[in-house]
Chain A
Amino acid sequence: ETGVTQSPTHLIKTRGQQVTLRCSSQSGHNTVSWYQQALGQGPQFIFQYYREEENGRGNFPPRFSGLQFPNYSSELNVNALELDDSALYLCASSLARSSGNTIYFGEGSWLTVV
C-alpha cells in the first residue's frame, strides 16, 4: 500500500472529449508527477508539480494540463482526446529534494478513447 490513490480506475471517452483524472499523494509528499503508460511500454513522464507550480514537463502537447492543490493532491486534464491517448495514467508522489529518495506510484487510471 503506497498511500497514493487515483480515480477513476477505468473510464471510456469519445474522441474529441475532455477528461479529468485525480490523484491524492502519500501523506507529507509535496511533489506529484504524472506518467502515461501505453500497453507493453514503460511509463513516460508528462509533468510534475511542486508547491502548486508546474516544475518540469515531458514531450507532451499543451492539451495535457494539470493542477496541484494546497493539500498536494493533483489533477491531470486532457482536452481534445485522441485515440492514441488510450493508456494507463499513473500518478507518483515524492518529497522534493529528499536525501532518502523514494517515489511511489498509484494503481493508475485506465483511459480508453473510442
Chain B
Amino acid sequence: EDQVTQSPEALRLQEGESSSLNCSYTVSGLRGLFWYRQDPGKGPEFLFTLYSAGEEKEKERLKATLTKKESFLHITAPKPEDSATYLCAVQPPGGNMLTFGGGTRLMVKP
C-alpha cells in the first residue's frame, strides 16, 4: 500500500524567511509525484508533477525536487500570500488515482 508522510504538519515563517517542506513516500512504483496548494475552503490548486529522481521544477518562489524516497518543496523569500496548505500526492504506474499526505499548513507573517 502506498504511503505518503508530510512534515512538518505546520510551519510559521516570517516574510522573506526561506524554508523547505518535506514529502516522504513509500510506493511499489511511481508514475508521478504531485504538489498542490490548497487555500481554506477551496479545492487543491495544481503546482507541479515530478516524474523521476533528480528532476526539479520551479514556479515563482517555489521549487520542487524529487529523490527516490522523498520530495522537497523549497520556498524562497515567502510572502504572506504564500500562506496555504501544501499537499503532496503519489500516483502509481498505470493509474490516475492519487494517494495524498496529510499536508503542511504554511503561515507567513509580514
Contacts and interface: CB of A to CB of B under 8 A. Distances in A.
A91 B67 CA distance: 29
Interface in B38-52: 41-46, 49
Interface in A26-40: 31, 33, 35
B107 to A, nearest CB: 15
A96 B96 contact: yes
A61 to B, nearest CB: 17
Contacts of B96: 31, 33, 48, 50, 56, 94, 96, 101, 103
Interface residues of B, number: 25
Interface in B82-110: 87, 89, 91, 95-103
12 contacts: A2-B45, A42-B101, A42-B103, A43-B44, A43-B87, A45-B98, A56-B95, A56-B96, A96-B96, A101-B91, A105-B43, A108-B43
Contacts of A102: 46, 49
